[in-house]
Structure 1
């Protein structure tokens, strides 16, 4: 049903609006407002993302074994409680406790949203990548709105920076409460709309690929997601300090994210048409996309003009438009109704692990070496993991 997809898109936009609020300012807030060293700020975001990873894992289990809607609700409720504390309490180190609990709650909800997407995509007639692409565009609309707004709101009011996400998540709780039956609708229930196909469970991809090769697939994909997010998350963390050190303002830093999210609305539809014709296998599209993402960091070591950061972000945007919606689609090709949530949680877990280690590892490299060495290292690592995707055995379906 179209309304099922619509509400799912709204949940995704709202969730990512909160991400747009929280991620760009946390490194700055801990470093500048709470007067903690850069390494402490990086470590804090590592712990935050580590708890998000735990939430991702729990979310996958709850989604497959217990309840789809309550997986979402539990995550939202934990996040709201944490954000309420962060709204009024700005004292270290108790702020860290609230931050990591926020990560745990958001991790549960993030996996549930991805698993819901796979759940609906599996039943939709046609190329399931369409829904994943639409969800990715919705996510970036949320990031664009959130990151643009927080650039102004953070300078005006710290209270509103954390309280507005409370309002957004309460809205999500209400949506899930009133629309749960629609979100959980199966293809049998929607058969009259002719939008879904009704078919017996297909053969287990694990049996077709082979147990050992299937495991190899998961390892390679997991490694790729981990390294990709370790590099990408530098924009959410250490890049804020890098740009401030170069004399740019917090608002100019947040506008880079606006350019990223806004340009995706133009870039991704174009790239999808080109890539679907150019690459028959999803793994090849992901491979090329990760390489493009890695190459974008080569501009940064000598970036002393604002337009250079914009160009770097635009190149990164081209790469991510090829990668981020395609990895969940690839995992969905490897899943069944019994493990769909768990496999989608693998993507969110490894992404959270990359986001957990990335800021802290990046801050150490910057402290011991330099920002330039950090950027060159990211490029090299992304190219290596991209090439390893040739080892993935993908079913042609």
Structure 2
């Protein structure tokens, strides 16, 4: 009975619509995760193209995703969440089914761009809707969706790998079906809040006092309707983008380096298993850190500092145990940063531009994923690995400066 009581209490802590959005996040990211680990393998082994070409196709996919974030966020402000979700999901479902039905290299290149564009409509709409239905929740709302996303990644990659062993065509069709199921779910369950719900029912400070265990103290109240505070918004965008350039090194240049040092692919994959397990099991630790470091800026500084420590560790040693320690530290930084930055943006956003600004800040992710492998690859190919790591360590000064700018200007 105690477990059931705790579950009911946990469900009561979050608005019903946020639970529905979390289910949507699980379906959406689960469907996408059927494919993202397999794209390079499919292009290289099934289509017979070199890895350089695969990298260019994924670059094109990220370019489409960047445009999708911006377009989806802007459309959210004009027409609301439901039309944006349905447009993005149905288009993405249709587009990604095509490679499962037709084997064509030119078609696949076009599909990757259109899929990146349409699938990315969903993310700013979900974030903006979460901010609308629970404005007093602060980072708690975004952290809730972040955990749901990672659960989708864990399940999607596991099932996607098994399905791809049977057939890549089946993997494409399975991803299409999952996105279609989310579209059906969104049609029946996802609703935009009434206009009266878009503003906090109580002052932010009072709402945070009512839930002090996980809420963060934001530096300013919601921005007036007519004014966008561009300086702190741009500071958050740049900081977020640079952090993604650093983060993606663990999926690209660091992965190549570890294999060159004799680390097996399964041992490298274990790092990401640790990442996923820690995201779920480490939530009590993050809740405690949020209680101690209450303001978003202090959480951003701490998260960036943890990113810095993760790279310092692998600079000191190339042993596998050090890479495990680095991944643990990196994951803790990620758990602080990824929910905190969109939550901070939501507090700075005028209600009529909430979707656009969530799309803007979210686009820093695909831009970072485009630039990160390119920068890391150039440094890895022409300099010692230590030079790459030192460059990333130096790069971490930029987010620290950006978050200091946010801290100062978000008060004004």
Q: The TM-score by the shorter chain falls in which range?
A: 0.7 to 0.9
Distance 2:313 2:359 in 1: 33
The alignment partner of 1:21 has SS state of coil
Q: Quick one: which of 189, 195, 202 aligns to 1:179? A: 189
Distance 1:304 1:159 in 2: 39
Whether 2:54 is the aligned partner of 1:41: answer yes
What is the correspondence of 1:386-397 to structure 2 with a 5 Å cutoff? Answer: 386-392=400-406, 393=408, 395=410
**For the aligned residues, what is the CA RMSD?**
3.2
Whether 2:22 is the aligned partner of 1:9: answer yes
Q: Quick one: which of 344, 368, 376 aligns to 1:362? A: 376
Does 1 or 2 have the higher relative contact order (CA < 8 Å, sep 6+)? 1
Q: Quick one: which of 353, 358, 371 aligns to 1:339? A: 353
The alignment partner of 1:234 has SS state of helix
8 Å CA contact 1:83, 1:102 repeated in 2: yes
Offset at residue 229 of structure 1 (A): 1.1
What is the correspondence of 1:310-321 to structure 2 with a 5 Å cutoff? Answer: 310-321=324-335
Offset at residue 78 of structure 1 (A): 2.1
Query: In the alignment, which residue of structure 2 is the partner of 1:197?
Result: 201
Q: How many residues align?
A: 383
Offset at residue 88 of structure 1 (A): 4.1
What is the correspondence of 1:1-397 to structure 2 with a 5 Å cutoff? Answer: 2-89=15-102, 91-122=104-135, 124=136, 127-180=137-190, 183-186=191-194, 188=196, 197=201, 205=223, 214-248=229-263, 250-277=265-292, 279-300=293-314, 306-392=320-406, 393=408, 395=410
The alignment partner of 2:283 has SS state of helix
- What are structure 1's unaligned runs of at least 5 residues? none
Change (3 A) 1:41 1:231: farther
TM-score normalised to structure 1 length: 0.85
Change (3 A) 1:251 1:102: farther
Change (3 A) 1:134 1:173: same
Distance 2:252 2:33 in 1: 13
Change (3 A) 1:188 1:220: closer
Change (3 A) 1:150 1:307: farther
Offset at residue 63 of structure 1 (A): 0.3
Distance 1:36 1:302 in 2: 37
TM-score normalised to structure 2 length: 0.82
8 Å CA contact 1:205, 1:334 repeated in 2: yes
Distance 2:315 2:38 in 1: 22
Offset at residue 327 of structure 1 (A): 0.3
